[in-house]
Amino acid sequence: MSSREPMLDLFIFETFEMIEKLQQLIMNSEKEKTLTEPDINEIFRIMHTIKGSSGMMMFDNISRISHKLEDIFYFIRESKPNNIDYSMLTDMMLEGSDLIKEETDKIDNNHEADGDFTQFINKADDFLNSLKVSNGETNEIKKEEKLVSSSESTKFYIANDKSTISNEQCYTVKLFFEANCEMENIRCFTVVHNLKEIANVIYFYPEDIIENNDSCEIIREQGFLVSFTSKHTKDELNDYFSQTIFLSRLEIEETIDESKVIESTNSMKISKEELKKEIKQTATQPTHKQNLINVDVEKLDKLMDLVGELVISEAMVTKNSDLQGLNLDSFYKAARQHRKRLNDLQDVVMSIRMVPLSPTLNKMNRIVRDMCKKLEKDAELILIGQDTEVDKNIIEHISDPLMHIVRNSMDHGIESSDERTAIGKHPKGKIIIEAKNTGGEVLIIIKDDGKGLDKDKILKKAKNNGLLKDKNHELSDKEIYSLIFVPGFSTNENVTEYSGRGVGMDVVTKEIEKIRGSVTVDSEREQGTTITIKIPLTLAIIDGMTIKVGNTNFTLPVTSIRQSFIIRKEEIVKDLNDKEMILIRGDCYSILRLHEIYNIRTETINIEDGIVIMVEDGGKTKCIFADKLLGEQQVVIKALPDYIKNVKGVSGCTLLGDGNISLILDVSEIVNQ
């Protein structure tokens, strides 16, 4: 669990979230060559919020950058310029938001946000000036006057000097926040902090919004009141406060003198006993239903572990050896009902942990855009199935593999516009990323319409680098294409920013294998390349088929099993290396005897006495010979102890209902043996 201040955690979470949204909005505007009014207002609001919250948190460098980016969109919002270089604007906003992201990342990792961004701020000033000049603006846009120094104390009381109030219009504003926004006291502090730039704050209530978390109750029930003087009109202030995030209602009142301020404030001051009475009364009245809540991921992990233990406990009860031979109809009826409820619980916990792929896939837009500019290529990214959901623990391992695949497609696959036109292709290349759910697995397909992979060149490079395990084995096309994922393999002869160093694509298989996934590649010359990533929905619980070899139990993921059958001795054929094979529907498959691989003592040696299970992974198939099938059940995957982690073909273990341990077979490794 995090030991940081909740206020800091909220700042980090919201900043990362807003930067992601900002970058997506600005890249969309570049693609469409236009900025809609809602997008302008949203980007302005994001920068305004980051400026205020970072200033409140004393991260001055982040506040300075966001202020400059806010100035750019203040000009765009107020002047509505017709002549905008969207490419330069996007470059400027992406560079600035990247700097904010880097500084926030430092804070998140408990480092000091110490970046010096003077150079960027000067560049932003130059860009804003050029934007004004190109749109006929010769005078600088009138900026909001700052009446209070940012170094001034953040707690304000009624001023003794009444001339301060009489010289400007005095206002009292009451703010009400949405019911599900949480941490209202911190949001009110941000309002006061930002207000200092355009007004002279003289009082706010509750006064102890930072020191006392209980002030949240008063704000929820009574609202937050702030009194100040300002030269701005009521309509201008209404527009200003309307930018406040999670604001549900706003009341602005012009007050003539200090006595009205005191009167308005006193009307809010109620005793704690009165507040409790009001809360009790309003509790019986219909209110806005809270439908969002932030939960620490570690709590969800612990909940998932407990559900896993429940699955094991349920199996240990229903499959207890003491129950064998007993007539227990009522017991088994109750057990079936219990199993149904347990499945419902498991589904609910899983759904809580599931997150959409859209944020991860949207990040690829930035990579395609940046590489198009640096490699002087023209390509577009098309995303399909962004709402597909996977377990949160899995999604963390997907981002890097996707990034490397997209980079590879842009660098090796997509040709320049001239090359594409010369061979009759559309000058703009396409990269399509499609995500879809196929039962217990998720497929992510990355397809480009580039020049495809050169099979002969890949094979030659692999031979020269000594990357072929079996030189006598004739490789299929897919096996040759898969060599691009071998560590140290690269066909790019020139070292660039993106490839040619012999690293990169092997990261894809390493990361995907960590989450029990697989990667396959297919290609066609001049037509393009398709890479398919297959990943499980969750890492914790799988449907498994338990098999027995001697006194040892093994579990196979049901999703990997194609069929099981008993064969006769005469159906076995042998290859040149004296390995057993079986012919099924015109195709030959090798047979793997588990008792031989793991030196297990068993009486089931004859092929006719046992059972053969056909398994498939990544387009490769193999037949496994075992003594017998014990049955299908849900199993909870447990990590192997350190001293047996290097067992070949085993990915983990599980506890069966009878208390025995079963080793979970790694099908991806087995089919490659």
Per-block average pLDDT, block size 10, for the chain (673 residues)?
68 89 92 90 88 82 90 89 90 93 91 87 91 74 36 35 55 85 76 82 80 77 86 85 81 69 52 44 43 74 85 84 85 91 87 88 92 92 92 86 91 91 93 87 92 87 75 74 78 48 68 85 91 83 89 90 89 84 87 91 92 86 93 81 75 80 87 77
Per-residue pLDDT, 653: 86
Q: In the structure encoding, which two tokens stand for residue 380, read together?
A: 């577009």
Instruction: Assign domain 6-134 to its CATH superfamily.
Output: HPT domain (1.20.120.160)
Contact 446, 433 (CB under 8 A): yes
CATH topology of domain 163-283: Alpha-Beta Plaits (3.30.70)
Q: Where are the domains of the chain?
A: 6-134, 163-283, 297-354, 357-536, 541-670
The CA distance from 650 to 345, in Å, is 29
Rounded to two decimals, the pTM is: 0.68
Per-residue pLDDT, 501: 35
The CA distance from 490 to 84, in Å, is 41
Give the 3-state secondary structure of residue 616.
strand
Q: In the structure encoding, which two tokens stand for residue 620, read together?
A: 């490769």
Distance from the Cα of residue 69 to its chain's centroid: 26
Please give the helix or strand (H or E) that residue 164 lies within, else none: helix 163-167
Pairing assessment for the beta strands 561-565 and 169-177 based on DSSP bridges: unpaired
Q: In the structure encoding, which two tokens stand for residue 551, read together?
A: 């006194």
Instruction: Assign domain 541-670 to its CATH superfamily.
Output: CheA-289, Domain 4 (2.40.50.180)
The CA distance from 557 to 534, in Å, is 14
Kindly write down the DSSP assignment for every residue of 218-231, as one continuous string: HHHHH-EEEEEEES
The CA distance from 437 to 361, in Å, is 15
First-residue to last-residue Cα distance in the chain: 42
Per-residue pLDDT, 499: 47
Distance from the Cα of residue 517 to its chain's centroid: 18
Partnered with residue 174 across adjacent β-strands are: 225, 251
Per-residue pLDDT, 284: 44
Partnered with residue 547 across adjacent β-strands are: 554, 629
HSE value, Cβ hemisphere, 13 Å, CA-based, for 219: 33
Select from 61, 66, 64, 63 the least CA-distant residue to 113.
61
Phi-psi group of 246: left, alpha or beta (phi > 0 → left; psi -120 to 50 → alpha; rest → beta): left
The CA distance from 28 to 39, in Å, is 10
Per-residue pLDDT, 101: 93
The CA distance from 364 to 360, in Å, is 7
The CA distance from 196 to 145, in Å, is 10
Per-residue pLDDT, 266: 54
The CA distance from 478 to 476, in Å, is 5
Contact 40, 77 (CB under 8 A): yes
User: Which CATH class name applies to 357-536?
Assistant: alpha beta
